[in-house]
Every structure is written in structure tokens, then in C-alpha cells.
């Protein structure tokens, strides 16, 4: 079983739709959760960073973490064609020792928002 | 403009060549990383450096050799690579081990 599971899609939605992207994980030690966006021929760009459970909102983006269910989500409201990219979830336990800097990534979900 | 710069952006090399990838970060971070990104696979962490000391070598073959001369620069020296090493190699940096990592745009490596 992979430590982090993410549906690779592809996911295609019309402009203006609400998009829901999800990851599940098996390691209960994960404490820090991130979402990255990666455009074609570019490196991953940090979108959201959260610690432990709860919600975080930034403009049209909302990140949710449910540690009891080992489930994280990224919601995109009023999606735009410019949101078309691959979205990667990533997570890490508390840093230290062999866990230092060790992000575990999902496979990424390819999203297309069509006009 | 990204705070993490990688050169070259593209590299084609034969299996017997020796080349190096370069990464420079302008963010004042203390940790730097090398990742491998292959199609339809999650990012694979290769090496972690904290304050120029290697803290993690994630079972990477010895044909990949990292070097971190200071906290702003990171190199990946390549020699006698295999076709399966063709991938996007990404460099990242972070302030510390549990802070978010910021990525460069990668070097697209093709092994002939």
C-alpha cells in the first residue's frame, strides 16, 4: 500500500465549477500537509501549507485536513482555465532525525478547466 | 522569477558521459534537496542537505553524486547513467526540515 494515495485523474471541469481534489494517507505520524500546483514544464509551486487538522482558506483555495480519517482536500472555487495544472499533495511528520525534510508526495491529479 | 534556479534546463547525454546539474537558491534557506520526477510516479526524494551537511541519501545509486559547497548552491554530478535515469530532476530548498519546500523548474535529462 502506498503511503499517500491520490487519484491521477485526469479531471475535466467547466469554468466556474467548484473543484475538489483529495488525498488519503496511511502514516498517522504525518503532521504537516501541503498542496502544490505544477504547470507543464515548470517546477511545483506551493499553494497551501497546513499543520495538523482543520481548514485554511486563501482566496479561491481552501485546504482541509481530517487527521482522524487520514484525508486531506483542496477545494478550488470559481475555477479558471489558468487553474489547469497538475496538483500534488505532500505531507511530512515532525522534522528530526531520519524524517528531516522528508516530504511524501501523492502521484498528482491532472486538472483541466475548459472555457 | 523563481527563488530557486536550476541549470541547464535540458540535458541530453550518452551513457558514458559525465555532467553536472546546478541549483542555486536566493531565499536564505538552510536546507536543499534533490528530487527525481518520472512520468506517472510521485516525486522521489534523492538527497537532503542541511547547512551543507548531507542528512539523507535515499538509497540512490552511486552514479549520482551530490555536492553542497554552501547553503546557496547544490550540485548533482552524473556519470555512467542508465536510460531509466531519464527524468525531470528538481531542486528544492526550505528554511528548515518541516517548513514548505520551494522548487526550481528542473532539469529535463535524457539519456541516450
pLDDT of residue A87: 98
B56/A100 touch (CB, cutoff 8 Å), yes or no: yes
Sign of CA dihedral A27, A29, A31, A32: negative
Mean pLDDT across A96-113: 85
- Please provide the DSSP assignment of A33-51 as one string: EEEEEE-TTS--EEEEEEE
B55/A95 touch (CB, cutoff 8 Å), yes or no: no
Mean pLDDT across A78-102: 86
* φ, ψ for residue B93, nearest 5 deg: -140, 160
Inter-residue contact B76 to B35 (CB < 8 Å): no
pLDDT digits (tens, 9 = 90+) for B57-92: 778 999 999 999 999 999 999 999 999 999 999 999
The residue assigned the cell 518541516 is: B98
- The residue length of chain A stands at 115
Q: Is the pLDDT of residue B1 over 60?
A: no
| Partner residues linked to A72 by β-bridges | A23, A65
Q: Which residue of B has its CA nearest to A92?
A: B98
- Given CB atoms, is A12 within the 8 Å cutoff of chain B? no
Task: Look over chain A and give the mean of its residue pLDDT values, rounded to a whole number.
Answer: 92
pLDDT of residue B62: 92
- Among A33-47, A53-67, A85-99, B41-55, which stretch is predicted with the lowest mean pLDDT? A85-99
pLDDT of residue A47: 96
pLDDT tier, A98 (very low <50, low <70, confident <90, very high otherwise):
low
Provide, as residue numbers in chain B, all residues whose Cβ is less than 8 Å from the Cβ of A92: 97-98
- Among A94-103, B5-14, B28-37, B97-106, which stretch is predicted with the lowest mean pLDDT? A94-103
Q: How far is C-alpha B47 from the geometric centre of its chain's CA atoms? A: 8
Q: Which of A46, A88, A94 sits opposite B102 (nearest CB)?
A: A46
* Environment class of A49 (CB within 10 Å of its CB; exposed 0-12, middle 13-18, buried 19+): middle
pLDDT digits (tens, 9 = 90+) for A15-54: 999 999 999 999 998 989 999 999 999 999 999 999 888 8
Question: Cis link prior to B8 (omega < 30° from 0)?
Answer: yes
Q: Which residue of A has its CA nearest to B56?
A: A98
DSSP A108: -
Whole-number Å distance between alpha carbons of B52 and B72: 9
Percent pLDDT > 70 in chain B is: 98
Whole-number Å distance between alpha carbons of B56 and B49: 7
Q: Which of B98, B102, B105 sits opposite A94 (nearest CB)?
A: B98
Amino acid at each position: 500500500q502506498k503511503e499517500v494515495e491520490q487519484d491521477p485523474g485526469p479531471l475535466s471541469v467547466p469554468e466556474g465549477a467548484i473543484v475538489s481534489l483529495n488525498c488519503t494517507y496511511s502514516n498517522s505520524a504525518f503532521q504537516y500537509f501541503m498542496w502544490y500546483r505544477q504547470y507543464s514544464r515548470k517546477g511545483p509551486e506551493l499553494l497551501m501549507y497546513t499543520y495538523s487538522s482543520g481548514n485554511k482558506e486563501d482566496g479561491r483555495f481552501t485546504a482541509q485536513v481530517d487527521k482522524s480519517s487520514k484525508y486531506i482536500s483542496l477545494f478550488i472555487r470559481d475555477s479558471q482555465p489558468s487553474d489547469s495544472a497538475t496538483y500534488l499533495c505532500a505531507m511530512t511528520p515532525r522534522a528530526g532525525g531520519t524524517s528531516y525534510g522528508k516530504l511524501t508526495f501523492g502521484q498528482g491529479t491532472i486538472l483541466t478547466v475548459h472555457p | 522569477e523563481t527563488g530557486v534556479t536550476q541549470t541547464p534546463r535540458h540535458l541530453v547525454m550518452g551513457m558514458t558521459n559525465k555532467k553536472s546539474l546546478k541549483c542555486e537558491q536566493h531565499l536564505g534557506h538552510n536546507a536543499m534537496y534533490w528530487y527525481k520526477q518520472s512520468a506517472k510516479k510521485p516525486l522521489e526524494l534523492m538527497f537532503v542537505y542541511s547547512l551543507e551537511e548531507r542528512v539523507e541519501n535515499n538509497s540512490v545509486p552511486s552514479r549520482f553524486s551530490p555536492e553542497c559547497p554552501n547553503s546557496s548552491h547544490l550540485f548533482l554530478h552524473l556519470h555512467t547513467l542508465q536510460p531509466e535515469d531519464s527524468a525531470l530532476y528538481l531542486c528544492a530548498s526550505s528554511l528548515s526540515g518541516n517548513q514548505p519546500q520551494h522548487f526550481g523548474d528542473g532539469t529535463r535529462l535524457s539519456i541516450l
